[in-house]
């Protein structure tokens, strides 16, 4: 009986490990995106940031906490988040631009299309 249980245990254990990896989320800055590769809505948001607003969403310009520690570590208040409109979305959607430094500066910009799960550095 013991001999039959060991292979089943290892099969169960391997299945459990594989399923955990299938549902784990990779996060972090995963490369770059050029200004021209951004969706048109992101380009419009960048223009609003440079003009200092007005912004269509109340939370635009608020501090991005970087609680997941995905972006490089900076002092609290360094990062600001801005909504990138998602066509046909009834809410703010998942797309954001995160800027670093002064609120109107766009020297350090990150784009996320999946609500902070992954980021790409915007290269202008």
Q: Which residues are catalytic?
A: 81, 115
Pairing verdict, β 96-100 and 108-112: antiparallel
> Chain centroid to CA 107: how far?
18
Q: Which residues of 17-31 are buried (b: 16+ CB within 10 A; e: fewer)?
A: eeeeeeeeeeeeeee
Can you read off the two tokens belonging to residue 93? Answer: 């959607």
């Amino acid at each position: 009986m013991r001999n039959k249980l060991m292979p089943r245990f290892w099969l169960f254990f391997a299945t459990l490990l594989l399923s955990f990896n299938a549902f784990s989320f990779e996060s972090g800055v995963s490369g770059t995106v050029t200004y021209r590769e951004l969706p048109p809505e992101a380009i419009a948001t960048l223009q609003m940031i440079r003009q200092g607003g007005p912004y269509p969403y109340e939370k635009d310009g608020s501090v991005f906490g970087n609680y997941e520690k995905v972006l490089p570590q900076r002092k609290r208040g360094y990062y600001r988040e801005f909504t990138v409109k998602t066509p046909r979305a009834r809410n703010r959607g998942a797309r954001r631009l995160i800027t670093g430094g002064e609120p109107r500066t766009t020297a350090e910009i990150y784009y996320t299309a999946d609500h902070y799960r992954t980021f790409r550095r915007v290269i202008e």
